[in-house]
Structure 1
Amino acid sequence: MLVRASRPARPFRLLAGVALSGVLVAAASGCGKEEAAPADGTDDALAGRARQVAEAWDGSASAAAWRTGYHPTGEAVQLPRGGLRGRADEQAFEDGRFVLRGELPGAGPGDGRVAWHGGKTLKRPLVGADESYGSLARSRGAGKPQLTVTGVELGEMRLATSRGPATVPAWLFTLDGYASPLRQAAVLPSKPPRPPIGRAQGIPGLPLDRLVRTAADGRSVTVIALHGACDDGAVVDARETTGSVVLAAAVKDRQEGGLCTDQAKMQQVTVALDRPVGDRVLLDAHTGRPVPYKGMHGITPSGG
């Protein structure tokens, strides 16, 4: 049985982030009925909603299911030791320009095992070499530099997860000109559990887009928050309990009137925590769901 925390959240601390280039339409779907939020001001509404989410999750069956699953919080693709050599190879990787020299391994075992420190393991469906290669080779890019794959075999890699570092099956892609392989995790993550609380209703701000980084010591997390064209950027606060960390995103100084678009800008925000995340569930106050890890793929910081 998980312990329900009773200590109050730390003071409502808003943290500004670093703006990122790129825009996307703000949309998110919820699960279950919508939850009404307190209407006594933005800060109070967000704090009240974060408390609701923490109370719903702490000690719940959803939290227990989350802690027994395989949920990566680190990059599923690891580059060869020392990284890629030169901007041409880096660009080829980012664009998905690969060429295969040889054959991919045929169908192997249907499942692989994820292993954590202390002997805990979990069996998960194995992704085939063809599907794994296809996710890397997204563009042929005729006439442009490419990364040449000369061999593929099943091996292992270490990967950060919501339950700590794990050893997972991985496809090892030998690249022409590199002494060590490019590795890609080869097992499917667990399906996130159904949240015990629905999406919020009537709270200013937008849901978080993604988790991109957890500090090595676990005492901060970096997320991509969204804000509009008529405000001064996104801010994020954390409500911490023994079982969860609820992140509540809002916007600073929204301007009323004038011409605004329906697009949302992306912003990188690092949130300091009172103690390491550990195996606590990282949650979005707006959706009531775990914050998905997607890394920085497709996001380019403005100004370099």
Structure 2
Amino acid sequence: MNTQAKRLTGLLLAPLLGACLLAGCGDGLTSSQSPQKQEKRAREVADAWPGSAAAAAWSKGYYPMADATQPPESGWHSDADKRAYEARTIVRRGKLPTTAIAQGTVKWKSGSTLNRPVMDPNWAYQSFAHFRDKGPRLTVTGVKLGETTISTTRGTATVPAWLFTLDGYDTPLKQVAVTPSKPPKPPIGRAAPGSADGLWSVARLTGTSADGRSLTVRSGHGACDDGPVVKVLETNESVVLYASVKGARSGPCSAEMLQTKVKVELRQPLAHRVVLDALTAQPVPYGT
């Protein structure tokens, strides 16, 4: 989470966490936890998904399961270039063109297709490039529209992509050009306060193992605990994640929201099952 996001989260949570300064972090935040209630909520979410309008919309949408920015196929020329990419220190030489392209087609191996809006190359550039005045950097010298493949909730798809030429490289940096579908409205509402003691939201999915038997997620927690714990309820159609925190401490606590990576083991490969958050009943988004 970047500095601006942390500040915004702090402002949003300040009224809630401010109460901890007076009375200590209690029910619904950190200290009061009921695993039975948490698992019950996860089961309710799992049971509500099959046959719902949300499940139908999810099965027809375009939802990426991999990073939309892809490094050059030729690999990085140096460790400095790799560090620049990881830090997103990527500048451009001159202006990038605008485009009148409105729609692009997502194509799956099954033969299914879906038209999605195409973002302007300048917006695509801004999604992965951040100016920093120190450290190594990469330089974009041009761009054209092409294609790439990306993993999605419906399998691998071929999608339109902006191919950015990098100074000194023969193969481009690729940025997926089409926007994901809007997440469907969950089949049931967010858990009511106190109905699932100590339940926290899973912020995002950041990776899936090659065999599909483990997930890496980012889960939230506060400044007065020992970090998140993420458990899983598996069904044939979904993987429901329910998160809490460990080592919660009462007393004064700063209004700070943190995120920590957690690895979650699955009994069966993820395959095409949807990953759901027990607190919100929504699909857990991939990436930022």
Fold shared, TM-score > 0.5 on shorter chain: yes
CA distance in 2, matches of 1:274, 1:112: 37
Look up the SS of the partner of 1:51 in the other structure: helix
Decide whether the 8 Å contact of 2:33 with 2:198 is kept in 1: no
Q: 2:213 aligns with which of 205, 212, 219?
A: 219
Per the alignment, residue 174 of structure 1 pairs with 165
Pairwise CA distance, 1:95: 4.1
Look up the SS of the partner of 1:242 in the other structure: coil
Pairwise CA distance, 1:261: 2.0
Task: Work out whether 1:238 is the aligned partner of 2:232.
Answer: yes
Q: AA paired with 1:274? A: R
Per the alignment, residue 209 of structure 1 pairs with 203
Per the alignment, residue 76 of structure 1 pairs with 68
Per the alignment, residue 92 of structure 2 pairs with 99
Pairwise CA distance, 1:118: 1.6
Residue deviations 1:97-119 (CA, integer Å, cap 9, x gap): 31224x53442431111111121
Aligned counterparts, 1:129-168, within 5 A = 129-139=121-131, 141=132, 145-168=136-159
Per the alignment, residue 58 of structure 1 pairs with 50
Per the alignment, residue 120 of structure 1 pairs with 112
Q: 2:183 aligns with which of 166, 177, 192?
A: 192
Q: AA paired with 2:96? A: L
Unaligned runs of 5+ in 2: 14-31
Distance 1:222 1:137, change over 3 A: closer
CA distance in 1, matches of 2:235, 2:135: 51
Pairwise CA distance, 1:263: 1.6
Per the alignment, residue 258 of structure 2 pairs with 265
Identity of aligned residues (%): 47
Residue deviations 1:165-203 (CA, integer Å, cap 9, x gap): 111110001111112110000001000011111111223
Decide whether the 8 Å contact of 2:89 with 2:136 is kept in 1: no
Q: AA paired with 1:226? A: G
Residue deviations 1:58-79 (CA, integer Å, cap 9, x gap): 2211011011100111000001
Decide whether the 8 Å contact of 2:90 with 2:140 is kept in 1: no
Distance 1:232 1:149, change over 3 A: closer
Aligned counterparts, 1:4-19, within 5 A = none
Distance 1:100 1:291, change over 3 A: same
Look up the SS of the partner of 2:54 in the other structure: helix
Pairwise CA distance, 1:271: 0.8
Per the alignment, residue 33 of structure 1 pairs with none
Root mean square deviation, CA, Å: 2.6
Pairwise CA distance, 1:209: 1.6
Pairwise CA distance, 1:264: 2.8
Residue deviations 1:95-148 (CA, integer Å, cap 9, x gap): 4431224x5344243111111112111111111222212333432x45764322
CA distance in 2, matches of 1:252, 1:219: 24
CA distance in 2, matches of 1:290, 1:66: 9
How many corresponding residue pairs?
263
Unaligned runs of 5+ in 1: 1-19, 29-39, 296-304
Q: AA paired with 2:53? A: A
CA distance in 2, matches of 1:290, 1:241: 15
Q: AA paired with 2:237? A: G
Q: AA paired with 2:128? A: L
CA distance in 1, matches of 2:199, 2:47: 21
TM-score of the two chains, using structure 1 as the length reference: 0.78
Residue deviations 1:197-237 (CA, integer Å, cap 9, x gap): 11112230421121100112221111011222332321111
Look up the SS of the partner of 1:263 in the other structure: coil
Decide whether the 8 Å contact of 2:165 with 2:172 is kept in 1: yes
